[in-house]
Amino acid sequence: MELADTQRKTDILSLIGNTPVVNILNSEYPKADVRLKLEAFNPGGSIKDRVAYEIITEAEDRSIIKPGDELVEATSGNTGIGIAWIGRLKGYKVTIFTHDKISTEKLALLKYYGASVLVMPSDTPINSSDHYVNVAANYASEAGRFFCDQFNNIANTNSHYKKTAPELWRQGGSEADVVICGVGSGGTLSGIQKYFKDKGSAARFIVADPMGSIYSSYFCNDNYIPQQWCVEGIGSNFIPGILCRNMADDVVTVSDDESFSMCDFIRRNYSIDIGLSTGTAVAAAAFMLKENNALRIMVISPDSGERYISKLQKI
């Protein structure tokens, strides 16, 4: 029984990564080559499995945590889900601080994996002690608790530099003109961009950002009108510590309506169940193809639409 249990743990964790790519928008833009990297194929259902695994194992390697300790994270959902299932598998308690934008499905998954969950207001300023990230950090300050801190933990960037980026490179990234992703914590962008630049790539890195997020202002020095948005997991009202301005070449701002409509369009025309942030990224790709219909584009799809059915059904 002990041997079988060990094999089960090894097998499921080894399935993180090596996610497939699929071509999209080939009917609408036949001269283009648009490839979508489907991170929903990770065992926990999102790209954040990579981040959660790297953060936990890096802390274990440094003897910062041990089974029985409590893992604490501030998250819009997917990182928390990754920490919840991997943490439970490794013998940790998990407490998640999230905000009220989280979908019904992701909130249910967090609880289903055994995490304790506290939901905070999403519009609280980052300099407030009541901001969900600050509440999580304060809670984690007690002995026996570890703040995973995806927004400032370099393990987040490293997870993508070491694994996601080499996969993307082999799957067509080495010849890409453009790489498009959303930015939440900044780990995906920072890890992939660094790897591609180290490999000598000339690809432009484009941030697909919800209208109302501050990233357009941050990367492009544009003025923006602060507002709430419905898309989850990307966009921000604060700048994560692992993010730098030189990581993005441009930002394409996408409205909620455009993101939701693109999710529906890809589902109906390509039978691919993409999540809300993927809808934002694909909408950004379509915008760029209107300017140049022969681009080679790699798009990161962080998760699937099944995590947002309660929202997608309203469109």
Task: Write down the H helix ranges in 31-128.
Answer: 48-61, 78-90, 104-112
Q: Which one of the listed residues 9, 31, 37, 48 is annotated catalytic? A: 48
**Three-state DSSP state, 166:** helix
Cα dist from 133 to 76, 97, 124, whole Å: 10, 7, 10
Measured CA to CA, the distance from residue 9 to residue 22 in angstroms comes to: 29
Q: Closest by alpha carbon to 138, among 95, 192, 87, 79?
A: 95
Distance between terminal CA atoms of the chain? Answer: 49
Task: Write down the H helix ranges in 163-308.
Answer: 165-170, 187-198, 215-220, 256-270, 276-291
Catalytic status, residue 48 = yes
Angle between helices 104-112 and 78-90 (to 10 degrees): 10
Measured CA to CA, the distance from residue 120 to residue 118 in angstroms comes to: 7
**Three-state DSSP state, 276:** helix
Which tokens belong to 134? 């600050």
Measured CA to CA, the distance from residue 158 to residue 164 in angstroms comes to: 9
Measured CA to CA, the distance from residue 89 to residue 86 in angstroms comes to: 5
Residue 282, amino acid: V
The residues that are catalytic are 48
